[in-house]
Amino acid sequence: MKKVLKLAGIVGLFILGLSACQQIPNVTPTSGIANRVRQGTWKVTMYNDSGKVETYKFTGYEITFSSNGAIAAVKGSSSISGTWTLGNDDSEQKLILNFGEVIPFDELSDDWSVLEESETKIRLQDVSKGNGGTDLLTIEKI
């Protein structure tokens, strides 16, 4: 009987732990930022990696966001593809980018909090849970 109660307690704690995990749900693709990013071509105008400005890594790349969740960064004959989506986490709107392991765009693969958005400029921030650093990213319409 004690083993059954112990097992039931462990299962209960496991279920409680799972329910405490917060998933990032999708945002309606017609939300303001989704409409903005899909219109036109963008470029990185500022990338700050935990206090170190590294915008130069993205110079010359033109970025397009497709309505099917694909993203492409093109510079001359070089093309880097990935995915994008929107979500909410702790009441913050997130722009989630995934370029995989392709350098230098692997540095942008993250869930970015939207700090500011306009028709021509989007400012984003990512606070790393690993090292506690803060990355900043600004993209502007070309």
Amino acid at 92: E
Q: Domain count for the chain, please give it.
A: 1
Where in the sequence is the domain holding 66, given as residue range(s)? Answer: 24-141
Q: How far is CA 139 from CA 15, 23, 56, 106, in A?
A: 41, 26, 13, 16
Structure tokens at 15: 């279920």
pTM of the predicted protein model: 0.76
Q: Report if residue 56 sits inside a domain.
A: yes
| Residue 86, token pair as written in the block | 């929107």
On whether residue 130 sits in a domain, the answer given is yes
Residue 66: inside a domain: yes
DSSP tag of 27: P
- Residue 76 belongs to a domain: yes
CATH number of the domain where residue 37 is located: 2.40.128.270
- Tell me which amino acid residue 77 is: S
Residue 6 included in any domain: no
Q: Would you say residue 1 lies in a domain?
A: no
Of the candidates 27, 37, 30, which has an alpha carbon nearest to the alpha carbon of residue 65? Answer: 37
Could you list the pLDDT tens digit for every one of the 142 residues in the chain? 544 444 444 434 334 343 333 343 443 444 688 889 999 999 999 999 999 999 999 999 999 999 999 999 999 999 999 999 999 887 889 999 999 999 999 999 999 999 999 999 999 999 876 667 899 999 999 9
